[in-house]
């Protein structure tokens, strides 16, 4: 409901350094996770076979993902949406690099547009987690005055559009001088 409000973070032990690796990503996945009632998810250990963690309305399950192993990001996302007959389901997945635990592999949402980088894909691959996805209907129930929130959000969005337009005019005029 607010620009940049749907980000999510992935924190792991970094395979390159052994230190904490933290990455965050935008898009719709973080908000959808919250709409399903989740604030945080912790994966411990390794799945005995390729798995798909699924989150729906405070219910979590690990489904078989062996049919998705070896698929590219776009193929994986399309297959998940088709399997669940839900084009709005949000998917975060690893590709072939993550499956093969390439040390700089990312986990991506919205196909390849929103990567959570810094080797989190390699960590997911090491845990046999190909994609994970979620869908929720709870919405944001913790906003005390949703109407006021939406009004302020719309005003701020309009302000930022005006600022971008004025910056573009300045750039164009300075380019003419060069």
Inform me whether the pLDDT recorded for 174 exceeds 50.
no
Task: Give the CATH H-level superfamily of domain 8-135.
Answer: Aldehyde ferredoxin oxidoreductase, N-terminal domain (3.60.9.10)
Q: How far apart are CA 127 and CA 59, in angstroms?
A: 20
H/E element, 155: helix 146-177
pLDDT for the residue numbered 177: 44
pTM above 0.75, yes or no: no
Torsion angle (degrees, nearest 10) of CA 96, 100, 103, 107: 40
What is residue 158's three-state secondary structure?
helix
54 beta partners: 61, 133
- Tell me which residue has tokens 């411990």: 44
Q: What is the pLDDT of residues 47-100, one digit of tens each?
A: 887 777 766 666 677 778 888 999 988 898 888 888 888 888 888 888 899 899
131-135 and 90-93 as β-strands: parallel, antiparallel, unpaired? antiparallel
């Amino acid at each position: 409901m607010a620009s940049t409000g749907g980000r999510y973070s992935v924190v792991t032990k970094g395979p390159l350094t052994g230190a904490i690796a933290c990455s965050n990503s935008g898009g719709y996945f973080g908000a959808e996770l919250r709409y399903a009632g989740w604030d945080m998810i912790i994966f411990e250990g390794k799945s005995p076979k390729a798995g798909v963690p699924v989150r729906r309305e405070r219910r979590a399950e690990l489904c078989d993902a062996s049919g998705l192993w070896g698929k590219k990001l776009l193929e994986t996302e399309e297959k998940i949406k088709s399997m669940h007959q839900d084009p709005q389901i949000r998917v975060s997945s690893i590709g072939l690099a993550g499956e093969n635990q390439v040390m700089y592999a990312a986990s991506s949402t919205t196909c390849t547009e929103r990567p959570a980088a810094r080797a989190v894909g390699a960590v997911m691959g090491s845990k046999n987690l190909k994609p994970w996805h979620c869908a929720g209907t709870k919405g944001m129930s913790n906003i005390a005055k949703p109407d006021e929130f939406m009004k302020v959000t719309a005003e701020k969005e309009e302000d930022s559009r005006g600022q971008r337009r004025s910056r573009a005019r300045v750039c164009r005029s300075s380019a003419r001088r060069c």
